């Protein structure tokens, strides 16, 4: 039989989370953000649950082409736009909308020969300081784009750096929103401002014709631990699970794993789980990281190794060889271990855990009912 680890992708959870984005921003259309292979869930698997979106947003042409092959005929937005001039030919062939965030991309459009003008999203750097035109340069970029016959409609976008902040103020989105609105208030075109955090926390303060449902589509919480998934009514779209493949009995003073980083201070039972950092489980998760064993909470002990990790079975006398271990996601008997809790224990974020699942982990889809 194959090694027992697997990732299960829950299409019903994806559809539910997408509906939550719609409910939060009832007057807006929704981009389902599927960059990074749908946050590690797989484009084809995620498509099953997210096809009710108004459009898909991503980075890679190969992923856009895959969506077209899956049958998607609606809008697809390239969030970083073209990377070189000839990419515009692919945009035309695949009917892609694309971001414009620098003068070089406008130069390419000006030289591009096309029968169909392009729909572009002009991006403002309102304070994130990654991509986009500064507020002082934004209107000139808009004017130049608007004069090009290669450009049809110009939409306007920006990205918030602190939409998950604790309050709507200078440490949140207010300063970026003010910068955006001051420059764009009299410009035509649809707006796309809200990411997951802004959609959940700052609607209706922010006018977005398109919201970008990224991490929330997959059941991750952008403002964890202030709020958890239950607060926002989000469901985990990925379950990483495996089984116990061995059991050891420890005496006080026995150590566990490489570096002997865990020492038993009492008699213990531990289970060895077929999951390690070569599967994408973080090596830096310390003793005490939560897991579910047959749906009941336990903890890891010792250091995560390449192919295995160890869990405490001392308070779970019925657990043993073959018991199901939920590393995150939906466990048996209605149990749930949210990915954000595991990520916090490991000093990271749920986004990274989703994206880190490696190719050797089989993925299976729980289809819509």
- Catalytic center residues: 35, 258
Determine the Cα angle at 161 with ends 199 and 237, to 5°: 50
Both tokens of 89, joined, read 């030919």
Separation between Cα atoms, residue 280 and residue 296, nearest integer Å = 23
Please give the backbone phi and psi of residue 252, each rounded to the nearest 5 degrees, phi first: -50, 130
Structural contact between residues 95 and 114, judged by C-beta atoms closer than 8 angstroms: no
How many C-beta atoms surround the C-beta of residue 2 within 10 A? 6
**If you ran DSSP here, which 8-state letter would residue 192 be given?**
E
Strand pairing report for 324-330 and 336-337 = antiparallel
- Identify whether 36 is preceded by a cis peptide bond (ω within 30 of 0): no
**If you ran DSSP here, which 8-state letter would residue 218 be given?**
G
At residue 7, the 3 state secondary structure works out as strand
Both tokens of 131, joined, read 């991509």
Best CA proximity match to 362, nearest among 236, 266, 274: 274
Structural contact between residues 327 and 281, judged by C-beta atoms closer than 8 angstroms: yes
């Amino acid at each position: 039989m194959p090694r027992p680890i697997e990732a299960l992708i829950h299409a019903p959870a994806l559809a539910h989370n997408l509906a939550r984005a719609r409910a939060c921003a009832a007057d807006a259309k929704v981009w389902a953000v599927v960059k990074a292979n749908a946050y590690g869930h797989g484009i084809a698997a995620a498509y099953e649950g997210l096809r009710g979106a108004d459009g898909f947003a991503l980075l890679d042409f190969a992923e856009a082409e895959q969506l077209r092959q899956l049958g998607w005929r609606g809008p697809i937005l390239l969030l970083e736009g073209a990377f070189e001039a000839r990419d515009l030919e692919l945009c035309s062939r695949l009917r892609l909308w694309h971001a414009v965030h620098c003068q070089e991309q406008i130069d390419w459009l000006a030289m591009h020969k096309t029968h169909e003008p392009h729909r572009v999203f002009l991006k403002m750097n309102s304070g994130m300081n990654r991509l986009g035109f500064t507020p002082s340069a934004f209107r000139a970029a808009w004017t130049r784009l608007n004069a090009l016959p290669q450009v049809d409609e110009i939409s306007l976008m920006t990205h918030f750096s602190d939409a998950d902040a604790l309050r709507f103020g200078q440490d949140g989105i207010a300063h970026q929103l003010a910068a955006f609105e001051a420059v764009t208030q009299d410009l035509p075109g649809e707006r796309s401002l809200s990411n997951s955090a802004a959609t959940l926390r700052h609607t209706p303060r922010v006018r977005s014709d398109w919201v970008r449902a990224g991490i929330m589509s997959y059941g991750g919480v952008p403002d964890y631990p202030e709020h958890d998934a239950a607060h926002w009514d989000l469901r985990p779209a990925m379950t990483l699970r495996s089984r116990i493949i061995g059991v050891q009995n420890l005496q006080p003073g026995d150590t566990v794993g490489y570096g002997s980083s865990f020492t038993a201070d009492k008699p213990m039972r531990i289970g060895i789980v077929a999951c390690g950092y070569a599967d994408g489980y973080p090596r830096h998760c310390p003793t005490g990281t939560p897991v579910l064993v047959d749906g009941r909470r336990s903890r890891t002990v010792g250091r995560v190794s390449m192919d295995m990790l160890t869990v405490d079975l001392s308070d779970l006398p019925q657990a043993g060889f073959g018991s199901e271990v939920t590393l995150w996601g939906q466990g048996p008997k209605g149990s749930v271990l949210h990915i954000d809790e595991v990520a916090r224990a490991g000093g990271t974020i749920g986004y990274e855990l989703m994206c880190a699942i490696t190719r050797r982990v089989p993925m299976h889809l729980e289809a819509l009912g």
